Structure 1
Amino acid sequence: MPLILGIETSCDETGVGLVRDGVLLGDALASSVAEHARFGGVVPEIAARAHLEALTPMVDQALAAAGVRLRDVDAVAATAGPGLATAVQVGLAAGKAYAVALDVPLYGVHHLAGHAAVDVLEHGPLPPRCVALVVSGGHTSLLLLGDLARDPVVHLGDTVDDAAGEAFDKVARLLGLPYPGGPVIDRVARDGDPRAIAFPRPMTGPRDPAYGFSFSGLKTAVARWVEGHDGPPPVADVAASFQEAVADTLTRKAVAACREYAADTLLLVGGVAANSRVRGLAEERCAAAGVRLRVPAPRLCTDNGAMIAAVGDLLVRAGAAPAPLTLGARPSAVLTHAWIGPENT
């Protein structure tokens, strides 16, 4: 079976993975998050330079972990979008270089499809039909999925402003907590009362889009509460109440989508899928609704090379046509298919 090298550089993680026939053989990951922390967010040029420095060492580490040689690679898959323009360009250029040097095909992969595909490496093939809730720093989407390697992706709803992960970062900053905000809020919230403050559940009114998302207003509600509070805010209670509002909104809409579209499986993926309350509430609501929940291990929820290799593996096994070497980065690519090429960009 073909061995696929996957490369992911859409944001601040340099990820490399090696997959063969649905099995992750080895992977490696470098993060530049510490270099961005003092800015309170990712600086694109710093991320791009970090990718340049880390990419070759990560390829070497992944090969060593997998116990294979570079010349054993049969195809290369690289994120072609969406993401930070300069960061995506680094990984895609590297993917082209490896493909040319090894004389193997290149596949341009949509970053969000990678988040969905990575679960295959842990739990086996996806069902013929499922709903995916993709929740990350830049994206919050409800998708109806068929065969990832062949079928178009149907968007049931997307965020219209701040994604859930972005809201975690901004609320953490409001509370004086370090960047990135998701892990620290999850940790601090364990000592708080999720019912202490009745923050709104955004875009859940009768006139709102059933599967749309908006977290900017929730972030603003937290800011106004903190500003209006007399004295230092109870950080743990604010964090827990905010986190509960996010988890409640996400899981409520996701389970409703499963019911409406007769999908018996919910796929929860993306960086925010590592959040303990989002995972826990999803488990509760899916169990009550008779829906099977599939969530990758937390280390595979954040950006990584394994997820891109997983898409490449699916595409190769489906006989998909490779991308031309003229393929350019698509920083704002809309998810219509798992691959990115001239025919769908």
Structure 2
Amino acid sequence: MPIPSSKHDNCFILAIESSCDDTSCAVLKNNQVLSNVIAGQKIHEQYGGVVPELASRAHQSNIIPVVHAALAQANIDKKQLSAIAFTRGPGLMGSLLVGGSFAKSLSLALDIPLIEVHHMQAHILAHFIDHGQEMPEFPFLGLTISGGHTQIVKVNDYHDMEVIGSTMDDAVGEAFDKSGKILGLGYPAGPIIDSLARKGNHDAFKFPIPKAPDLDYSFSGFKTSVLYFVQKQTQKDPDFIQNNLEDICASIQYTIIEILFQKLNKAVKQTGIKSVAIGGGVSANSGVRERLLSKQEKGWKVFIPPFEYTTDNAAMIGISGYYKYLQDDFSSLDIITQARIPM
């Protein structure tokens, strides 16, 4: 899809992402990524999940080095920047405040526009980062799947998106992580389950498909079914998990993917839109990717992001900021970050 015509020929966006536990900064020239630096936080692994207070402290330590690294890798001086884009929400409030405060300060110091970005919109717009690939045409359906969100979105334009299905309780990433915790796996468990599932038989064990209305999702009952199943089997055989780990993981992953695609199939049928793009951390899952690719045989046009744009990263914030910049859609310095913010 061609870049919209604009008076801005060489737009340099510095983008900051700090919604959860990754501190990221990227520099984009128009819709191309010059750098995309991410600093993770290993400290959360010992707790089996993200600790908000520790996350915000780590962001404070990481943000200046990450910004310097992104500018250096892009070979751009901060005086060349056209605007600063940042994640306004949703996310962890303390983490968002660190990124938002830094973005405001830099915008004020450089006297350049500030652009707020919706984190989940950015996951979808990552497909418009130019790396030589075909890009979706509007309208299309976006399936955003991550540790905190599970949504089916009708994408009408770059910033005109309608959520037509969402989780009623837990997100798909949490279903992976909690299942992994039950099995004694590390955190985050999603990639571990994915790796083990490739060696297992997904028909070995059956888990129920939760019932949710229309296009909405529910994963809380699924997690409970995994817990009760493991408890029952380990009472019979204390070595059950060890002896069947690959089959258990394959069965869990297969069921989660089935839950996702039953609703996605329904969304395609209801809307008549057969162009589908995925985004979010769980879109890195090999089973999800394989299932989506198989839909091409049904006439779907599918879009899968590169692995570097699946997890939280500033490049996706930058591309969202770029399309807002083209429309002169700038933010006031009075803008506040929000832990919850509608699409």
How high is the TM-score relative to the length of structure 1? 0.92
Q: Secondary structure at the match of 2:186?
A: coil
Does residue 14 of structure 1 match 2:3? no
Q: Give the corresponding residue for 1:332.
A: 340
Q: Give the corresponding residue for 2:213.
A: 209
Does residue 196 of structure 1 match 2:204? yes
Does residue 277 of structure 1 match 2:293? no
Does residue 140 of structure 1 match 2:150? yes
Q: Give the corresponding residue for 1:130.
A: 140
Q: Give the corresponding residue for 1:96.
A: 104
Does residue 241 of structure 1 match 2:251? yes
Tell me, in whole angstroms, the C-alpha distance in 1 between the residues paired with 2:95 and 2:215: 30
Does residue 85 of structure 1 match 2:102? no
Tell me, in whole angstroms, the C-alpha distance in 2 between the residues paired with 1:39 and 1:147: 40
Tell me, in whole angstroms, the C-alpha distance in 2 between the residues paired with 1:93 and 1:25: 24
Tell me, in whole angstroms, the C-alpha distance in 1 between the residues paired with 2:170 and 2:86: 26
Letter in 2 for 1:116: I
Q: CA deviation at 1:277?
A: 0.4
Contact 2:196 2:246 in 1 (8 A): yes
Q: Give the corresponding residue for 2:13.
A: 4
Q: Which runs of 5+ in 2 are unaligned?
A: 1-9
Q: Give the corresponding residue for 2:325.
A: 316
Letter in 2 for 1:280: E
Q: Give the corresponding residue for 2:166.
A: 158
Q: CA deviation at 1:70?
A: 1.2
Q: Give the corresponding residue for 1:340.
A: none
Tell me, in whole angstroms, the C-alpha distance in 2 between the residues paired with 1:135 and 1:5: 25
Deviates more, 1:252-261 or 1:77-86: 252-261
Q: Give the corresponding residue for 1:256.
A: 266
Letter in 2 for 1:256: K
Q: Secondary structure at the match of 1:197?
A: coil
Q: CA deviation at 1:118?
A: 0.9
Contact 2:145 2:283 in 1 (8 A): yes
Q: CA deviation at 1:318?
A: 2.6
1:25 to 34, 41, 55: 34
Q: CA deviation at 1:192?
A: 1.3
Residue pairs, 1:27-46, within 5 angstroms: 27-32=36-41, 34-46=42-54
Tell me, in whole angstroms, the C-alpha distance in 2 between the residues paired with 1:318 and 1:255: 34
Letter in 1 for 2:67: V
Q: CA deviation at 1:184?
A: 0.8
Q: CA deviation at 1:66?
A: 1.3
CA-to-aligned-CA distance 1:95-140 (integer Å, 9 cap, x gap): 1011011101101111101101111114355312000000000000
Q: Secondary structure at the match of 1:146?
A: strand
Q: Secondary structure at the match of 1:263?
A: coil
How high is the TM-score relative to the length of structure 2? 0.92
Contact 1:194 1:241 in 2 (8 A): yes
Please tell me the root mean square deviation across aligned C-alpha atoms, in Å. 1.2
Tell me, in whole angstroms, the C-alpha distance in 1 between the residues paired with 2:289 and 2:179: 20
Residue pairs, 1:273-312, within 5 angstroms: 273-284=283-294, 286-312=295-321
Q: Give the corresponding residue for 1:222.
A: 226
Tell me, in whole angstroms, the C-alpha distance in 2 between the residues paired with 1:302 and 1:41: 16
Q: CA deviation at 1:72?
A: 1.0
How many percent identity over aligned positions?
A: 35
Cα 1:178–1:236 change in 2 (3 A) is: same
CA-to-aligned-CA distance 1:190-239 (integer Å, 9 cap, x gap): 22111111111222xxxx42211111111111111100002222221111
Q: Give the corresponding residue for 2:6.
A: none
> Paired residues, what number?
326
Tell me, in whole angstroms, the C-alpha distance in 1 between the residues paired with 2:173 and 2:261: 15
Tell me, in whole angstroms, the C-alpha distance in 2 between the residues paired with 1:31 and 1:279: 24
Tell me, in whole angstroms, the C-alpha distance in 2 between the residues paired with 1:166 and 1:53: 27
CA-to-aligned-CA distance 1:264-291 (integer Å, 9 cap, x gap): 310111000000001111111x213211
Q: Give the corresponding residue for 1:181.
A: 189
Tell me, in whole angstroms, the C-alpha distance in 2 between the residues paired with 1:86 and 1:306: 21
Q: Secondary structure at the match of 1:134?
A: strand
Letter in 2 for 1:209: P
Tell me, in whole angstroms, the C-alpha distance in 1 between the residues paired with 2:39 and 2:174: 21
Q: Secondary structure at the match of 2:108?
A: helix
Q: Secondary structure at the match of 2:154?
A: strand
